């Protein structure tokens, strides 16, 4: 699932669509081709088309973990949070530990105000590289923070654990950007978003449609970051 990563390397977004259309014209029943085309359509804001393409991919390959997770992600970006939650929970049956399933389950549940229920997915998404015993300890600590200080406590404890983490380096910057954005700390969120762009994390390709960053759109730094990414 590194399509966004490829775009970030070359930033030739305008050349991508014609390649996908040409490929699907040659093989319209190629499920992964429809998935990839959907992944292109999300960052450029063509979400209805993206849902149609990922839906077609599911029809062609209903047992694909990646395609089912992408369906849930596409619903999340389309602001259909309840549908996203359902689709991603269905995808858990393929692999309960898959990092993207858990990250976007947390995102979709957070947007619905299901903070306490989202904690297991927050832990499995943020600390996927740790053992089950370690993740259980993290979850206990985060639940205690939520009980003591509510959603802010949950986010702050996750932030602190993640900043102290020695694993999962590639995803850390983008996840910290999300946590700081949820905490309302724009300055730190932009610091970590730029670090995420430095490592060409695919998450920065969807900044414009990610609800976690909605409150940052009016900041001039947001437009600068989109320009840097090339979207």
Element (H, E) at 90: helix 81-91
Are 38 and 46 within 8 A, CB to CB? no
CATH numbers and ranges of domains, the chain: 1-62 (1.25.40.10)
Question: Cβ–Cβ contacts within 10 Å for residue 115, how many?
Answer: 17
pLDDT at residue number 1:
33
Q: What is the pLDDT of residue 22?
A: 86
Q: Are 41 and 53 contacting, i.e. CB atoms less than 8 angstroms apart?
A: yes
Q: Region 33-47: what's the mean pLDDT?
A: 94
pLDDT exceeds cutoff 50 at 230 = yes
Note if the pTM is more than 0.85.
Answer: yes
Tokens encoding 1? 């699932």
Q: What is the mean pLDDT of residues 43-72?
A: 97
- The Cα–Cα gap between 217 and 231 comes to 14
């Amino acid at each position: 699932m590194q399509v966004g990563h490829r775009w970030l390397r070359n930033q030739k977004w305008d050349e991508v669509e014609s390649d996908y259309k040409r490929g699907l014209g040659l093989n319209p029943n190629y499920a992964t081709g429809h998935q990839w085309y959907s992944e292109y359509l999300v960052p450029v804001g063509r979400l209805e088309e993206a849902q149609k393409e990922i839906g077609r991919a599911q029809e062609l390959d209903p047992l694909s973990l990646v395609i089912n997770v992408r369906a849930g992600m596409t619903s999340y970006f389309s602001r259909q949070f309840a549908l996203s939650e359902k689709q991603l929970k269905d995808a858990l049956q393929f692999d309960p530990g898959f990092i993207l399933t858990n990250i976007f389950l947390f995102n979709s549940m957070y947007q619905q105000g299901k903070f306490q229920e989202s904690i297991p997915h927050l832990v499995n998404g943020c600390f996927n590289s740790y053992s089950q015993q370690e993740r259980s300890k993290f979850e206990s600590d985060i639940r205690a923070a939520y009980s003591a200080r509510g959603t802010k406590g949950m986010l702050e404890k996750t932030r602190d654990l993640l900043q102290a983490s020695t694993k999962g380096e590639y995803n850390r910057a983008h996840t910290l950007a999300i946590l700081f954005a949820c905490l309302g700390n724009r300055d730190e969120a932009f610091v970590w978003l730029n670090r995420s762009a430095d490592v060409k994390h695919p998450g920065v390709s969807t900044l414009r449609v990610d609800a976690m960053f909605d409150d940052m759109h009016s900041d001039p730094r947001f437009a600068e970051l989109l320009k840097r990414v090339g979207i």
